[in-house]
Structure 1
Amino acid sequence: MSDYSCDALIIGSGQAGNPLAKALAEAGQTVILVEEAHLGGSCLNYGCVPTKTMLASAERMHQVCTADALGIRLGGVAQVDMPAVVARKDALLEKSRRGLRESLAPKHDNITVLHGQAAFVAPRKVRVQETATQTSEITAKQVFINTGTRAAIPDVPGLADVDYLTTTELLDVQEVPEHLLILGGGYIGLEFGQMFRRFGSRVTIIDTGSQVLEREDDDVCECLQTSLEADGIEFFLDAKARHVSRSAAGQLTITLDTKHGERRLHGTHLLVATGRQPNSDQLNLAVTGIKTDEKGYIQVDSRLQTNVRGVYALGDVHGGPQFTHLSYDDFRVVRDNLLHQGPRRSAKQRPLPYCVFTDPQLGRIGLSETQAKDAGVAYRVAKIPLHILSRAQHTGQHTGFWKVLVGADDRILGAALLGPEAGDIMTILQVAMAGRLRYQQLQNMVIAHPIWAEGLNVVWRDLK
């Protein structure tokens, strides 16, 4: 057994842990970073980087298949080379992992990286199982938990007996599934569903809710579902999986309880995308007294400190919206509060921009219309269909709309944008919100023609 002591112990090499390790090391602290699997956390290894890389391949396939609509005659039948798609993704992953390894150690003399499973033996003492025979014990002045989440597997009879897939495994498939069944109509299920539909799979999405993306406004959900159905995706909503089985010939069968009675669906592959659960259950938190909620998410205050002095939780493991950019902001909150002079920084009440990388893309910032109603906030709605924009007419990308909420003071409260480059347009609105601009300043701004952002001149036309 090896014994270590350090100023800072970081458990988990995610989007908050890695930059924090560098910042603390550059401030002169000795840092030990423990990672059970690959450096980089979920975003790099099985989240944003690999999924958006493969989504780009699916988008290119769609452009090829729909080129006729723009007068391009390609001839022949386009085919997906799935091993090549996966190989491209893997090459980018390896490049990113290599760059991260080199940036942590040995570049930083104050950082030691250990690989293994970490578990607490005291509030600021951790044992790391590096191999079957090698363990290390680390005593630290401060501990930062950044262990993230993993796929939550629902308790469906028979599910454990079939070789279902999570997104991690589906990213490595070497063949296009003939018929992909997806449990879960959230953003993960929709992104993967459209991706594999465009690769050539038949896709069926099953969800217990009455609409996809149940936290979004009804008009957003309806438009997006209609668009995905036009792509050929089949939906079963208000449906609960009652049993899963696989025949000797390899056929999957899911038995559903629906409002129209029992339904049986057959497929070749099954993706489980019903949510996430925190990787806190193997940390032996009981010996520390660290509080968690009923789902296992670590409870923190506005500075991301747990109820145990000197122990922090960053990223998805403390619950709330699970996005890479929020995890990175967790790093900034902790860094500024520990290392920088000035006003205390808070992780509460911060902006929540996010995108769903379907086609049409969804960009969201601030209040939705439903949230404004529920909170009793006075608002007006500026909304236009995408097809009226010049750029939409030029490109043939007509599906979607822009909706912006405006307060009584003419300042922007929030936005939901469905269409090409929606995330980038949403970010322009986020900047306007941060600067407390009134909508008239965007309405009268000189914007280059004909780009998508020109719609910021137009979207207010029917605002009362």
Structure 2
Amino acid sequence: MSRSFDAIIIGAGQAGPPLASRLTSSGMTVALIERKLFGGTCVNTGCTPTKTLIASAYAAHLARRAADFGVTLGGSVEIDMAAVKARKDAVSGTSRQNVETWLRGMERCTVYQDHARFESLREIRVGDERITAARIFINAGARAAIPDMPGLDRVNYLTNTTILELDEAPRHLVIVGGSYIGLEFAQMYRRFGSAVTIIEKGPRLIARDDEDVSDAVKDILEAEGIAVRLDADCISFAPRGTDIAAGVNCTSGAPEIVGSHVLLAVGRRPNTDDLGLDQAGVALDERGYIVVDDQLRTSVPGIWALGDCNGRGAFTHTAYNDFEIVAANLLDNDARRVSDRITAYALYIDPPLGRVGMTEAEARKAGRKIRVGTRPMTRIARAIEKGETQGFMKIVVDAETDAILGAAILGVGGDEAIHGVLGIMTAKAPSATLRRSMPIHPTVSELIPTMLGDLRP
């Protein structure tokens, strides 16, 4: 016998719980299925734990720099990694418990903690029970991709999930992957006292960003003693006693790096391979992501896909925005679309990188006539006062329409200051609107209008 609901939500990540709240508030009965940890990637293995660790790493870094600010500390800076981990676990655990408590106390919401699998178009097996609904929302998330590299099966390795269980700093952490996840862990563990080497197959770090941004990030990391190996086109692994040897076929440098730990940070893969989606006829792309339209509907009417599993965004904020789009269309008669949103994200090294819209390279490739403004953080009073002058800001403007096409702020407060640009872009206002504003002094944001007043072809 099957139990019937108005809606079924698979996954308690960033999109699932708020959608359950909206649906139940509208009078629907909802079954929410979570097979493991409430809160999804962000709360358990993503933003919440990593940014908590980054905060501890920043405290250690600032303590080492205390003399720069006229502050004298007695003795050396010691890192208690067990305490660092306990703090991370407490912050993450509180967030997870809050999500679970919210869901379990939600009127008209039934929570199942088990694995979900489609048995037919509208029927899902969860544990020993079958449940049905006319509307099904898949919020299954993603996990670390494990590359096919020679020797990987012979060594122990870490992912962004398992590294969070360490209660001591690795002697030498070798990170495979020079993008956002890898770089955040690289700086974090360097500040915890580990030797760190980054191995990247490409010619530069964070390849999605402009080359000047990539170069500046590399300089920041290398200044802290992090080794960066680029153009590593043939990576392999072999045990060396209790250590791990990573073979690197690069254009320069030693052909082998021996470390105590290896972290794989080479991308993500969607959690779609064990949901029985073929039983419902839900189409996947060649990478396993669920194919969705501009309003997040799958190939099957009555089934939607939200969050990392749909390939339309890989961030907490895109997952939450997926919820907003689905709820607006379904409940508010508001035709919101994925294509309406502006790309925005941040890299949480220190200083952080805030990014919005197109890169300069993307704008040029699109054939746009552009004007570009830049300012080094060394010319920003707020950065000088805080003693954090690494990085720069850049903005790209359409020369014909005066529309802001994109911006990057690599510097102290960059992850917050970028939102002023995002707001103007969302409002579809010309750059002149922001240029004529009167920002507060002393802030990082105050130099954005100044930068716009000095645009160059």
Fold match (TM-score > 0.5): yes
Deviation at 1:186, TM superposition (A): 0.6
- Aligned position for 1:57: 56
Whole-angstrom CA distance in 2 between matches of 1:318 and 1:441: 35
> 2:143 aligned with 1:144, yes or no?
no
Greater CA deviation, 37-46 or 66-75? 66-75
* Residues 297, 303 of structure 2: 8 Å contact kept: yes
Task: Specify which of 107, 110, 128 is matched with residue 109 of structure 1.
Answer: 107
Measured against aligned partners, the alpha-carbon deviations of 1:44-87 in whole angstroms (never above 9, x if no partner) come to 11000000011000011110011112222212100111010110
Find out whether 1:182 has 2:175 as its counterpart: yes
Deviation of residue 445 (structure 1)? 2.5
- Normalization by structure 2: what TM-score? 0.97
Alpha-carbon distance, 1:111 to partner: 0.5
Q: Is the 8 A contact 1:305 1:313 kept in 2?
A: yes
CA distance in 2, matches of 1:122, 1:262: 55
Task: List per-residue Cα deviations over 1:320-350 (Å, max 9, x = no partner).
Answer: 3301101001001111111113x41111241
* Distance (whole Å) between structure 1 residues aligned to residue 268 and residue 350 of structure 2: 24
Partner of 1:268: 260
Distance 1:349 1:52, change over 3 A: same
Return the letter of the residue paired with 1:122.
S
Q: In the alignment, which residue of structure 1 is the partner of 2:202?
A: 209
| 1:181/1:271 contact within 8 Å kept | yes
- Residue in 2 that maps onto 1:32: 31
CA displacement at 1:439 relative to structure 2: 3.0
Mapped partners of 1:123, 1:273: distance in 2? 36
SS in structure 2 of the partner of residue 397 of structure 1? coil
The structural deviation recorded for 1:156 is 1.0
1:444 deviates by 3.5
Distance 1:11 1:219, change over 3 A: same
CA distance in 1, matches of 2:406, 2:131: 46
CA contact under 8 A between 2:38 and 2:97: conserved in structure 1? no
Contact 1:224 1:360 in 2 (8 A): no
Q: CA deviation at 1:353?
A: 1.3
SS at match of 1:383: strand
Distance 2:161 2:234 in 1: 22
Residues 426-445 of structure 1: pairs in structure 2 closer than 5 A: 426-445=418-437
Q: Is the 8 A contact 1:241 1:254 kept in 2?
A: no
Contact 2:345 2:356 survives alignment (8 Å): yes
Q: Give the Cα separation in 2 of the matches to 1:291 and 1:353.
A: 28
Alignment correspondent of 1:132? none
The aligned amino acid for 2:454 is: D
Q: Deviations over 1:388-441 (max 9, x none)?
A: 111122122111111001122323211011001101111011112223333333
2:8: which partner in 1? Answer: 9
Larger CA deviation: 274-283 vs 151-160: 151-160
- Contact kept, 8 Å, 2:283 with 2:298, in 1: the verdict is yes
Query: 2 CA distance for matches of 1:188 and 1:196?
Result: 12
Give the letter for the 2:368 counterpart.
V
Matches of 2:185 and 2:255, distance apart in 1: 23
- Residues 84, 415 of structure 1: CA spacing in aligned structure 2 closer, same or farther, 3 A cutoff? same
- 2:452 is paired with a residue of what secondary structure? coil
Structure-2 separation of matches of 1:370 and 1:431: 22
Task: Write the deviation string for residues 291-339 of structure 1: whole angstroms up to 9, x where unpaired.
Answer: 1011100001111111111111001101033011010010011111111
User: Which residue among 124, 127, 137 is the counterpart of 1:126?
Assistant: 124
Matches within 5 A, 1:293-442: 293-341=285-333, 343-407=334-398, 408-442=400-434
Q: Residues of 2 paired with 1:393 and 1:345: CA distance?
A: 42
Aligned match of 2:451 in 448, 455, 459?
Answer: 459
Distance 1:221 1:243 in 2: 25
TM superposition shift of 1:241: 4.4
**Gaps spanning 5+ residues in structure 1: where?**
130-134
Determine the C-alpha separation between the residues in 2 that align with 1:57 and 1:333: 36
Answer yes or no: is 1:226 the counterpart of 2:225: no
Residue 100 (structure 1) shift: 1.1
SS in 1 for 2:266: coil
SS of residue in 2 equivalent to 1:296: coil
The structural deviation recorded for 1:109 is 2.5
Shift of 1:167: 1.1
What secondary structure, in the 3-state scheme, does the structure 2 residue paired with 1:167 have?
Answer: coil
The answer to which of 165-174 and 214-223 deviates more is 165-174
Q: Give SS of 2:445's match.
A: helix
The aligned counterpart of 1:235 is: 228
Aligned to 2:81: 82
Q: Secondary structure at the match of 2:205?
A: coil
Extract unaligned runs of 5+ from structure 2: none
What is the deviation of 1:101?
Answer: 1.4
CA distance in 1, matches of 2:101, 2:85: 24
Between the aligned residues of both structures, percent identity stands at 42
CA deviation map 1:92-146 (0-9, x unaligned): 12211221112111x22211111111111101111123xxxxx111111111111
1:280 matched to 2:279: no
> Cα 1:99–1:261, aligned 2, differ >3 Å: closer, same or farther?
closer
CA separation in 2, counterparts of 1:322 and 1:260?
A: 33
Q: Alignment length, in residue pairs?
A: 455
User: Which residue of structure 2 aligns with residue 91 of structure 1?
Assistant: 90
User: How does the TM-score come out when normalised to structure 1?
Assistant: 0.95
Asked if the contact 1:193–1:205 (Cα under 8 Å) also holds between the matched residues in 2, the reply is yes
